[in-house]
Amino acid sequence: MVATVDTSGTPENPQEQLQDLWKKGTDFLGSKYAILGGAMSWVSERNLVAAISNSGGFGIIASGAMPPALLKEEIIATRALTDKPFGVNLITMNPELDELIAVCKETAVTHIVLAGGLPKNTTISYIKENLGAKVICFAPAIPLAKRLIRSGADALVLEGSEAGGHIGPISTSVLVQEILPFMLENHPDIPVFIAGGIGRGEAITSYLRMGACGVQLGTRFVCATESIAHINFKKLFIKSPARDALPSTQLDPNLPVIPVRAITNKATKEFERCQRETSSALHAGQLSKDEAQLKIEHFWAGALRRAVIDGDVENGSVMAGQSVGMVKKIEPMQDIIDELIQQAVEYISTT
């Protein structure tokens, strides 16, 4: 059986068609548009999150390594800037995960995105039963999608390798073709959002027509006027083509490197030098494998903050997706959202 999207009764007005295409997503999020803001550490804080939600999207706070008290402060501060819905992204490997969930309960967070690893069944069930919040999870393959659904995930995000930051090995287009038909056929009521390399409204419309209920964008929002990212960080985004946003390279199979997509800079070359020197020391018996791996992993410690907040874009980590080539200027978030919607509507009207 081939999964199909029912287009019977589709309204003629392009704007109404767009609303109809992502109605499942907007109903799930409670937002005007089914556009999630990607949770970017140091970037997706109160100002950007509120701006996304106020512009009709759905902002998501990136809790990252925040301690519980700081997350509570961030949620309260975000609510002071918007009366629209927003969510919180929690890293499943965070040792204080339970405490962070407790903060979300105390502050009545309505949507929680679990990232950074496969969440435990007990974590998902606890959030649903004790917080009454909707749980969104990332599904990089069909087996994981099935497992997450069994665990009770309310919605899935299919994020391809074109995205910025920590990435998987599969491109967005392949993930969508592989997982979305399965979801439409077997779990048509579960919202599926698409992420990775999306920078224009035409792409949004295309994924919606394939059966997705919405999208997630991160890189496209970094240069919003409301973003607190350093001006150096934004300027590098604006001048960088897609080909400059590359995943980190692993030089020694004995020393694993977690793939992270970022704009190449001085630090990228230094990381390769660090790997070569560490690998030589390991094979010469000067370092144990644990010591060598720790040295590799510690190289990027604090590097994202160094770039985003301090503006050191040569020695910091400038995480960016391949859609960075579509970022042309610093502009208000409302203008970015409006342009995406206009592109989506015009595409609907001409195809």
pTM of the model: 0.94
The dihedral formed by the CA atoms of 257, 263, 265 and 267, expressed in degrees to the nearest 10: -30
Residue among 217, 193, 248 at smallest CA distance from 339: 217
Q: Which sequence spans correspond to the domains of the chain?
A: 14-229+327-350, 241-319
Spatial distance between the Cα atoms of 5 and 80, rounded to a whole number of angstroms: 40
Contacts with 284 (C-beta within 8 Å, 6 or more apart), sequence order: none
Q: What is the 3-state secondary structure (H, E, C) of 134-158?
A: EEEEECCCHHHHHHHHHHCCCEEEE
- Are 184 and 165 in contact, with CB atoms under 8 Å apart? no
Residues 200-259: tens digit of each pLDDT: 999 999 999 999 999 999 999 999 999 999 999 999 999 999 999 999 999 999 999 989
Q: How far is CA 164 from CA 64, 160, 178, 277, in A?
A: 15, 10, 21, 27
Q: What is the 3-state secondary structure (H, E, C) of 219-284?
A: HHHCCECCCCCCHHHHHHHHHCCHHHEEECCCCCCCCCCCCEEEECCHHHHHHHHHHHHHHHHHHC
DSSP E strands, the chain = 35-37, 59-62, 86-91, 111-115, 134-138, 155-159, 165-166, 192-195, 214-217, 245-247, 260-263
pLDDT score for 1 = 44
Confidence at 264, pLDDT banded by 50, 70, 90: very high
Spatial distance between the Cα atoms of 237 and 223, rounded to a whole number of angstroms: 8
Confidence at 9, pLDDT banded by 50, 70, 90: low
Spatial distance between the Cα atoms of 197 and 209, rounded to a whole number of angstroms: 17
Residues 172-190: tens digit of each pLDDT: 999 999 999 999 999 999 9
Architecture of domain 14-229+327-350: Alpha-Beta Barrel (3.20)
